[in-house]
Amino acid sequence: MAQTRQPQGKIREIWGDAKDVKDHLPITPPEATTQAVADYTAAGIRLTAVGAVNFLKDEDDDIRSKFDYARRAGVSVIVASDPAPATLPRIEKLVRQYDIRFAIHNHGPENKFWPSPLNVLKAVGSMDPRMGCCIDVGHCVRAGTDVVEAIYAAGPRLFNMHMKDLTDFTSKESQVAVGDGIIPVRGIFEALIAIKYPGYVDLEYEIHPDDPMPGMIKSFAYMRGMLVGMGYRG
């Protein structure tokens, strides 16, 4: 997942959310993470988050290792996958210690804990303000949640966005390039602007793995064009 811009007076920079796998950003050994970050930096890529990182154990050492990983990566947001609700107080302590925001990723109606961002917000609503959510727009609508309303509900607890488009709100296999489906892209950007969202909107393009670039380019072009039409310059 990535997004780009052309800062004045600089070469093109790329921002991205890296997953903890070998060909993205390996979590172990530690030196492999450090080397990967150096390689990204040399290529003009700046990491903004890690994730989605699995939090499947209610153990201090395992959870701490994920925060150490985020610190090595130099990011301020962990996008988290499937932490059990019982682990959240333990995670909250490390959020305070590391000053790293923890964004629970919603994973649609198949997920027993976090089908919708609203489930995340209910669980973290009384916790440290650095406990929040990453809204995956596709999984959000498949869970029957209005994604625009979810953005307003999240407000300052929205730390990351995963953008995609679908032609059918009941089917994750209906993904298409952004702009070719029925996800309310303009409404999403209007809501993000209204809440003064300070984070990133990361394209999550999961189709045509043998030739993803045309669809990715089309998706970015559509989103940038929409923002320009709304008065924002890319």
At 97 the three-state DSSP class reads helix
Q: Which domain holds residue 166?
A: 51-220
- Residue 210 inside a domain? The answer is yes
- Dig out the tokens for 197 from the structure: 């969202």
How far is CA 192 from its chain centroid?
A: 14
Neighbouring residues of 23: CB distance < 8 A, sequence distance ≥ 6: none
Domains in the chain, number? 1
CA distance 62 to 56: 9
Cβ atoms of 220 and 4 within 8 Å: the answer is yes
Three-class SS of residue 171? coil
The answer to whether residue 29 is domain-embedded is no
Q: Does 34 fall in a domain?
A: no
Where residue 199 falls among pLDDT bands split at 50, 70, 90? very high
Do the domain assignments include residue 30? no
Query: Rg for the chain (alpha carbons), in Å?
Result: 17
Whether residue 232 is contained in a domain is answered as no
pLDDT at site 16: 75
pLDDT band at 40 (very low <50, low <70, confident <90, very high): very high
Res. 23: pLDDT tops 90: no
* pLDDT, tens digit (0-9, with 9 covering 90-100), for 42-84: 998 999 999 899 999 999 999 999 999 999 999 999 999 999 9
Are the CB atoms for 127 and 178 separated by under 8 Å? Answer: no
Flag whether 122 is in a domain. Answer: yes
Residue 202 lies in a domain: yes
- Distance, CA of 115 to CA of 38 (rounded, Å): 35
In a domain, 22, yes or no: no
pLDDT of 19:
87
Mean pLDDT of 144-172: 98
pLDDT at residue 234, rounded to an integer: 52
CATH assignment at residue 55: 3.20.20.150
